[in-house]
Amino acid sequence: MAALRTAVPLLALLGLCLGPAAAVTPLVIWHGMGDSCCNPVSMGYIQKLVEKKIPGIYVLSLKIGSNLIQDMENSFFMNVNDQVSEVCSQLATDPRLKGGYNAMGFSQGGQFLRAVAQRCPSPPMLNLISVGGQHQGVYGFPRCPGESSHICDWIRKTLDLGAYTKAVQEHLVQAEYWHDPLKEEDYRKNSIFLADINQERGINETYKKNLMALKKFVMVKFLNDTMVDPPISEWFGFYKSGQAKETIPLQETSLYKEDRLGLQEMDKAGKLVFLGVKGDHLHFSEEWFDSTILPFLQ
């Protein structure tokens, strides 16, 4: 008994010296167009992979809607601003995230999570990893998921006919980040999502402050991307205004030069990370993910 009484204070003292075990930062992931939160070959696979590599981590794969079908349909047809508001509510009411979280968005989920970072700073997003996100928008879908799908054909026709009409903007997700370099004024005036989060109509200092609070903003570009037009949008670049052939990197855009989002300051502070991976859109190996992405989550 005496030995046991002696051991207990020693163990307590040892615990004080070593401190509590470091908590694992939670991860929030958001899927892309035509996908769902828990698809076993996409988001479900990513969630299991992260949980396997980082024991004890809490991974929240975002679901917009009451079931997987609704989640997939909402990736096409639910107003993005409403989706972002819904996600902000989910994050704010999840007690496991109150200390902060890392975020990883796939394809359009990348720019949607950036909107969360800019609009909803509580709980705090620590690092944002955009995997193939289109931060300057798109001007075409060369290979929409489900190439033979009537949904993809309808989206193309609708965007060609009236991407910036009120009805299309409010009810077609892809129109809300459609960026026509030949109609820049229409884009700035009528884009209800992307033009707002990219500060095209004025400076929202809160957006800038919140984004700059990130520790790292990691952007992954697929070097053989046949879906995103132009692929450089994945690194925040885009077409030079007034034409749709020559592209310019982020550092040559007015967004960067005027530092409307704080990206220039973040770049100089080493907070922006530009990664390239060989392969088509969202095609990467587990080895690449382990060696390149996991370090930002640990």
Confirm whether 31 is a catalytic residue.
no
Contact criterion met (CB below 8 Å) for 238 and 230:
yes
Q: Which of 35, 196, 225, 229 is catalytic?
A: 225
Confirm whether 281 is a catalytic residue.
yes
CB 267: neighbour CB atoms within 10 A? 18
Confirm whether 107 is a catalytic residue.
yes
How far is the C-alpha of 239 from the C-alpha of 232, rounded, in Å?
Answer: 9
Q: Which of 36, 61, 75, 107 is catalytic?
A: 107
Contact criterion met (CB below 8 Å) for 253 and 181:
no
Cα distances (Å, whole numbers) of residue 30 to 105, 188, 239, 257: 5, 26, 26, 30
Q: Which of 31, 135, 179, 281 is catalytic?
A: 281
Contact criterion met (CB below 8 Å) for 297 and 27:
yes
* Residue 231: DSSP 8-state: G
Query: CA 148, 154, 156: angle at the middle one, nearest 5?
Result: 90
H or E element that contains 257: helix 254-257
Q: What proportions of the chain, in percent to the nearest 5, are helix, strand and coil? A: 45, 15, 40
Catalytic residues: 107, 225, 281
